[in-house]
Structure formats: C-alpha cells, structure tokens
Chain A
Amino acid sequence: MSFCQPRFLLNSVCFQQLSWVVYSSLLQTRPSLRCPAFAAARLSSTSSKPVSLKDRLAEIIPKEIENVCINSHLRTGLHNSFDVGEGHSCSTRQKIFWSRSGGPTVWVSNTQLPAIFGFKFNVEVCAVFPLLFGMAPFSMLVRVVSRRSTLCSSLL
C-alpha cells in the first residue's frame, strides 16, 4: 500500500501527527485525498482533549514510543527497511532524524539513549534537507517523527 493512500494516512501514527501545513500540501498535491473521513479525523484529533491526565498521556506516550521505535528501526533495521506501523514499510538509509526545535534539521545516528529504552546510538549532526526534499512521502514521515519527538529529545 502506498504512503499516499487514505487508509495509510488515516490509520498510521504519522497521520495523527500531521500538521496543518503538511495536510494542506498533501491536498494540493494529492486531490484524491479530499475525503470527508480524512477531514473529520483531523478535526477530531484537535478539537477534544481528555480531562484526565492519564488519558492524555495515553494519547501522547504511545506515539513517542512509536517514534523511538521508528528511529531505532531506521538505525538498526536490516536491509535498509523499517516498519511504519500497520504492516507498512519504507526503504531509507540507515540513519535517524532528530530535532530539538521541531524541524528536521538534525541527523542523529548512533545516539545512546537511556538504558530503559534499550536502544544505543551516537550523536552526529549534519544537514538533511537534500534528502528530505528528494523523497516526498518519506520526508513527510520524517517531519512527523522529528516534530513529535519531544520526549525522546529531552532524554538526549
């Protein structure tokens, strides 16, 4: 299944974290995505937040864990592939994207996270924009991953 098919976007963790800018650009480039379910899902994700702290964390933390897993797979996955949830996979270089500021401005590879996560990496910084602009669907994923990695980046 393609990254740009509605089912993938609706079901994946990536969709839940799409910014309005990314969503708008998708609509411009992919008119076929203009479906009511897509818009309804986006609105529901921003219009209501739970009152309970635990319920709110239950929304946030699994996504952060997913980000760590995606990043881990980017680094350690075999044959340059990694899972992005829902049984999909994507080919890429074995590098990790990371950002403290929310943008895809930092490569972090071989970074060592706390042992509780069980992942081992080292820090390395370089520009990623040529790669991002060269691979549209993947750059979307990277934007999402890096934008929402607050928990992980706070641990670095």
Chain B
Amino acid sequence: MFIVTLEEGIRFRGKTIPECQALLPKAPGGSEPLPEGLFWLLLTGEVPSQEQVTELSRDWAARAALPEFVVEILDRCPPTLHPMSQFSLAVTALNHNSAFAKAYQDGVSKKDYWGPTFEDAMDL
C-alpha cells in the first residue's frame, strides 16, 4: 500500500504525492486533494470520482458526533493530562460502540470481518 523511494518519496497505491495531488478530487475552489479521496485510494487502489468523494464526506459528517460517555470521560480528565493521553483514552473508550466487537461476539464469519472493521474505521 505504501512504498518509499529515495528519489520520489512515498507512493500511495503506486502514486506519488504530485500524482495524488493531480488526480484526486479537490474541494470546490481548493487546490489540494481532499482526505476522503486519499482514504478511498488507500482502501480500493482506485482514484475516486467527485461524486464518490462527496458521498464519503457526507458519510463522515454523519458519523462526526461523539458518544456522550466519551465526552464525559474527556471532561473528567484533569486539565494537565497530556492531550495525546486524552485522545488515547477516548479512542479506547469507543470500543464500547465497536461494530466489530459486537459482530465478533455474535460469531461473525472471518470472511465478513472486513464489514464491521470498516464501520469502526469510518466511525473513528
């Protein structure tokens, strides 16, 4: 998925950063590719269309809200706790709503692991 060479730097799915900048969809009026496009490229190996990126943006926005208990956990942290520690706490706590954890508990087939894993990745 990632290849790093001395001359070209990192490649994402075979594409250099300049190639990604040229190929991936951008926000209206923007000059840099949207992260949604790079996410799509990394997962599928394909350059997404503008429509696909827009749909993915919509999906991410719909999942943006934090569960209330996670907000409470963060609020209860001492203000001096390092932000990365708070971030780590919050991510770990999201296991409570993990689609994969639930599917695994229900005995999902190995070949279907990717589905709930994808849902968790999108939520995160």
On A, residues with C-beta under 8 Å from B are 49, 51-54, 56-58, 60-62, 65, 116, 118, 150, 154
Contacts and interface: CB of A to CB of B under 8 A. Distances in A.
B1 A154 contact: yes
Contacts, number: 34
Contact of A51 (B1, B45, B52, B118): B52
Contacts of B92: none
B110 interface: yes
A65 B43 CA distance: 15
A93 B51 CA distance: 45
Contacts of B55: 51-53
A154 B118 CA distance: 18
B114 interface: yes
Given A57-B114, A154-B1, 17 more contacts: A49-B46, A49-B49, A51-B51, A51-B55, A52-B55, A53-B40, A53-B44, A53-B55, A53-B59, A54-B115, A54-B118, A56-B44, A56-B52, A58-B115, A62-B111, A116-B113, A118-B110
A60 B52 CA distance: 16
B116 to A, nearest CB: 11
A150 B118 CA distance: 18
Given A51-B52, A53-B52, A62-B111, A150 B45 contact: yes
B101 interface: no
B3 to A, nearest CB: 10
A71 B31 CA distance: 43
Nearest to A59: B44
A109 to B, nearest CB: 23
B49 to A, nearest CB: 8
30 contacts: A49-B46, A49-B49, A49-B52, A51-B51, A51-B52, A51-B55, A52-B55, A53-B39, A53-B40, A53-B43, A53-B44, A53-B52, A53-B56, A54-B115, A56-B44, A56-B46, A56-B52, A57-B43, A57-B44, A57-B114, A57-B118, A58-B115, A60-B44, A61-B114, A62-B111, A65-B111, A116-B113, A118-B110, A150-B45, A154-B1
